[in-house]
Amino acid sequence: MEEPSRSPANTPPQASGPTRPVLIAGGGFGGLYTALALASQRHHPPILLVEPQQRFLFLPLLYELLSEELRGWEVAPRYDTLLASRGVAWLQDRISRIDASAGCVYTEQGRQLAYSRLVIATGSRGTSYGIPGVEELAIPFRSLADVEHLQELVQHLRSHPRPLQRLALVGAGPSGVELACKLADLLQGSTVIELIEQGTDLLPQARAFNREQARSALLRRDIRLRTHTRVLALEPGRLELSLTAGGEGSSRETLPVYGVIWTAGVTVAPPPIEPAASLDDRGRLLCESTLELKQTPGVFAIGDVAHVADADGAPLAATAQVAFQQADCLAENLLRSLEGESLQPFRWKDLGEMISLGIGEASLTGLGLTLAGPAAYRIRQLTYLSRLPGLPHQLRVAAGWLSDLGRPLNVPRCGSP
Ligand SMILES: Cc1cc2nc3c(=O)[nH]c(=O)nc-3n(C[C@H](O)[C@H](O)[C@H](O)COP(=O)(O)OP(=O)(O)OC[C@H]3O[C@@H](n4cnc5c(N)ncnc54)[C@H](O)[C@@H]3O)c2cc1C
């Protein structure tokens, strides 16, 4: 791997006046954890986090919020509470464009903000791939509003059961599988659940153990997995599908559905940058191993929006685990960059893989453990407890969990009729 260094040709613009902060665009896993890591340094620069939402969302625990195994304030703490007395200023706004040669950003609310160093951490969002009807009719699963929408749907389906009422989830990646299992437990047999996947199998990137655990979790819940099946269009009350089996021609099918949940695919769209930054074929910002943008000194990217190559040259996965690990390296490099020192390359360490498989169940592989069932569920929760943002929030959540000890795990509280 190349040893990164500073040279006159890649020196950031001299924008580091005393009042110019390190500006972080986006307060998700990459942005918030970078801000907290930087603020924990003894002599840190002023830090400004620009994030439009009021609450940070710990996305890997969104399923537990849906099932009410966890509470809203635990999974989605407010930024003003998280950042109180932490040395990070938070501005509730959205970056609309970046002028890297002038060292400033423009926001949706009409502000112009100068920075000494900029971190782009604007994440990813779902995509409909332009399939007719998906944008308008399918339910996504990425936000608090989506969780509330699904909770209302579960309540309705449980309290007005009709023969053969059906929900379809599209995409058998981790989100689709985890959500299908939680929904099946919440719906308690009142609704047929179909998991639709255009590829050849569920969880194509997962470890074999987790994939097999997921397969049997789906079977135990009577969730039908349809592979080799592509969504052509969504219309009110029905899905148009194209089925291909073993590479032989395709056939079409119309599937009556009460609702469709879309977890298939993500896309990225960083704010426009002048001069234009280098992007990969999926729109991600091409970064050096130091997380600094190629050809845009002084501007860094992290998380889903960043294309950072692993040791084999392939882009690192878009996961919270990657963004979480990058944050410490980036905080260190921001300080080094401000001091004019050489930057450190980011080194990814695979800590394993955990997947939630219904209420009170999970499967995990990594760090010498291969485990499924309620014990894996507890370990997953404890692991995430240690990753929640900031010690004060971790302690508040831990106190809540201790007071919950003894509450049975397998009783869904959501939508009880
Ligand atoms: C339901 C779900 C479950 C997941 N489960 C797991 C899991 O179990 N394990 C795992 O490793 N990964 C998981 N992921 C993936 C993981 O959450 C992402 O990889 C991670 O959140 C990426 O962090 P990020 O900082 O790049 O983006 P995000 O965490 O998405 O944060 C981006 C932030 O930027 C803000 N923003 C967007 N545009 C702008 C703008 N123009 N200006 C200012 N702010 C902006 C957004 O409001 C958001 O807060 C899951 C994702 C989802 C959707």
Mutate to test the pocket of ligand 1, among 50, 58, 319, 388 (most ligand atoms within 8 A of CB): 319
**Across 356-372, average pLDDT:** 93
Ligand 1: centre distance to CA 307 (Å): 15
Ligand 1: centre distance to CA 169 (Å): 21
- Sheet containing 369-373: give its strands across: 353-356, 362-366, 369-373
Ligand 1: centre distance to CA 417 (Å): 33
Ligand 1: centre distance to CA 60 (Å): 10
Residue 158, C-beta contacts closer than 8 angstroms, at least 6 positions apart: 186, 187, 188, 190, 415, 417
Ligand 1, atom 30, lies closest to the CA of 123
**Across 123-152, average pLDDT:** 96
| Whether residue 7 has pLDDT greater than 50 | no
Q: What is the largest CA-CA distance in the chain?
A: 71
Instruction: Quick: pLDDT tens for 203-217.
Output: 998 999 999 999 999
- Sheet containing 89-91: give its strands across: 89-91, 47-50, 22-25, 117-120, 299-301
Residue scoring higher pLDDT (9 or 254): 254
What are the tokens at 355?
Answer: 């997947």
Ligand 1: centre distance to CA 124 (Å): 6
What residues does ligand 1 touch, defined as CB less than 6 Å away?
A: 25-31, 50-53, 59-60, 62, 94-95, 121-123, 141-142, 175, 271, 303-305, 318-321, 323
| Whether residue 326 has pLDDT greater than 50 | yes
What's residue 405's pLDDT? 74
8 pLDDT band, cuts 50/70/90, is very low
| Whether residue 80 has pLDDT greater than 90 | yes
What's residue 24's pLDDT? 98
What's residue 18's pLDDT? 54
| Whether residue 165 has pLDDT greater than 70 | yes
Ligand 1, atom 29, lies closest to the CA of 28
Ligand 1: centre distance to CA 61 (Å): 12
22 phi/psi in degrees, rounded to 5: -75, 120
Q: What's the whole-model pTM score?
A: 0.92
**Across 335-358, average pLDDT:** 95
Residue among 91, 355, 402 nearest 217 (CA) = 355
316 phi/psi in degrees, rounded to 5: -65, 150
Lowest pLDDT segment from 12-21, 69-78, 363-372: 12-21
Structural domains for the chain:
8-52+93-124+268-339 (3.50.50.60), 134-264 (3.50.50.60), 353-404 (no CATH)
Ligand 1, atom 37, lies closest to the CA of 122
